[in-house]
Amino acid sequence: MKANSESHFVSAPDGLKLHVRVYGVRDSGRLPVVCLPGLSRNGSDFDVLAEALSQIPDKPRRVLAIDLRGRGLSEYDRNPANYSLPVELGDVIAILTALAAEPAILIGTSRGGILTMLLAALRPTAIAGAVLNDIGPVIENKGVMRIKGYVGKLPQPKSIEDGAEILQLLFSAQFTAYTPEDWIDQARRNWRIEDGRLVPAYSPTLSKIFEGTDLEQPLPQLWAQFDAIPKVPVMVIRGEHSDILSAETVAAMKARRPELTAIEIAGEGHPPRLQGRLIDDIAALAELCDRRRPSTEFCLQPAIPKSKWSALQKKRK
């Protein structure tokens, strides 16, 4: 059991059981944070961040770290076609509703960031702030081809130490700042023990999402979905060596949204870990989201003519 947290299971629209680790207390008076992991990742990627945000003295915040279907402790889907963005978006909405987590500050890593932008287009009122971790409206084909090359295809390690060596061999060129302990930590998040052996912490059929995708052609761009994010605080994080999110795309995002906070993490690739200095940066963004959250009076104002609203305010004084 992770500190200050408990497991919840929520039914997806099709009945599949989805796992969410919830940190902190519900009635903190602050906006909740909802964390969405990458393609083959799970909610454990947010352990350090979630524990920190939920235990800030005098400012604790409820944090939900979601295992998307087929990942972590969520149920695996017998139909690989359901490992799709529309189905996963429906899952996220079901979790937000079931756990009363709207509006929320969304933190999306890679695929989780895509889901955040899609949620903005479908349900903008659910988003009170957003952190896009190494993802943007333009996704580089080179990085997707690299991911396709290893998802569901990693060799089975004999031990966590063996798994750490496998990961280091594959990803050391991107994560030049990693220590031996960091690779061990990543191995523990990539594999789990099942029937006495280590297996990937995701459904083996997850790799089928790449079938039928021509990665020689540019991937669809998501500028409309990015632009749909409401006028709330937004941060984009990029790993220095990322092959998914380019510096040019970050610059274009900043040009469209000048108030956007852009951070680049040295020595890391796709995606950067959300720890260290980033915890303070994200906590500060969350505080800004709290301050900008509309009050009840502000929410009522558009429904009342301006003249009557002014008279009502004077009368109340």
Does 183 lie in the same domain as 194? yes
AA letter at 150 = Y
Question: Which of 272, 288, 21, 253 lies closest to 129, judged by CA?
Answer: 288
What band does 311 get if pLDDT is binned at 50, 70 and 90?
Answer: very low
Q: Is residue 210 part of a domain?
A: no
With a cut of 70, say whether residue 313 has pLDDT above it: no
The pLDDT, as a whole number, for residue 214 is 81
Residue 251 and residue 286 in one domain = yes
Judge whether 206 lies within some domain.
no
Q: Is residue 231 part of a domain?
A: yes
Does residue 243 register a pLDDT over 60? Answer: yes
pLDDT band, residue 35 (cuts 50/70/90): very high
Mean pLDDT of 234-252: 98
Residues 245 and 157 in one domain: no
Q: How far is CA 99 from CA 6, 62, 73, 93, in A?
A: 13, 11, 17, 10
Q: Are residues 171 and 234 in the same domain?
A: no
**166 and 20, same structural domain?**
no
List the alpha helices (DSSP H) in the chain.
47-53, 85-98, 111-122, 141-150, 160-171, 180-190, 223-227, 247-256, 277-292, 296-300, 306-316
pLDDT, position 178: 96
pLDDT in tens, 37-80: 999 999 999 999 999 999 998 889 999 999 999 999 999 999 99
Residues 236 and 290 in one domain: yes
Residue 245 has pLDDT above 70, yes or no: yes
Q: What is the CATH number of the domain that holds 96?
A: 3.40.50.1820
Instruction: Give the per-residue pLDDT at 59.
Output: 86
What local confidence, expressed as pLDDT, does residue 310 receive?
A: 44
Is residue 287 over pLDDT 80?
yes
Same domain, 73 and 100: yes
In which domain, by residue range, is 298 found? 5-151+221-307
Domain assignment present for 317: no
Which of these, 112, 121, 118, lies nearest to 34 by C-alpha position? 112
In this predicted structure, the answer to whether residue 302 has a pLDDT above a threshold of 60 is no
288 & 185 share domain: no
Mean pLDDT confidence for 183-205: 94
Full-model pTM: 0.90
> Which of 171, 201, 231 is the last residue in one of the domains?
201
Alpha-carbon distance 222 to 199, whole Å?
A: 34
| pLDDT value at 183 more than 60 | yes
pLDDT mean across residues, the chain: 91
Residue 214 domain flag:
no
Q: Which of 33, 52, 31, 35 has its CA nearest to residue 109?
A: 35
Number of domains in the chain: 2
Whole-number Å distance between alpha carbons of 122 and 124 = 6
Using pLDDT thresholds of 50, 70 and 90, give the confidence band for residue 17. Answer: very high
Q: Quote the pLDDT of residue 293.
A: 83
Last residue of a domain, one of 201, 233, 261: 201
Does the pLDDT of residue 95 top 50, yes or no? yes
Same domain, 188 and 254: no
Same domain, 46 and 187: no
Q: So what's the pLDDT on residue 309? A: 35
Asked if 87 and 186 sit in the same domain, the reply is: no
The whole-angstrom separation of Cα 277 and Cα 183 is: 20
Domain presence at residue 188: yes
**Residue 215 maps to a domain:** no
pLDDT digits (tens, 9 = 90+) for 139-152: 999 999 999 999 99
The verdict on 117 and 192 lying in the same domain is no
The pLDDT value recorded for residue 27 is: 79
**What percent of the chain has a predicted confidence (pLDDT) above 70?**
91
Is 36 part of a structural domain of the chain?
yes
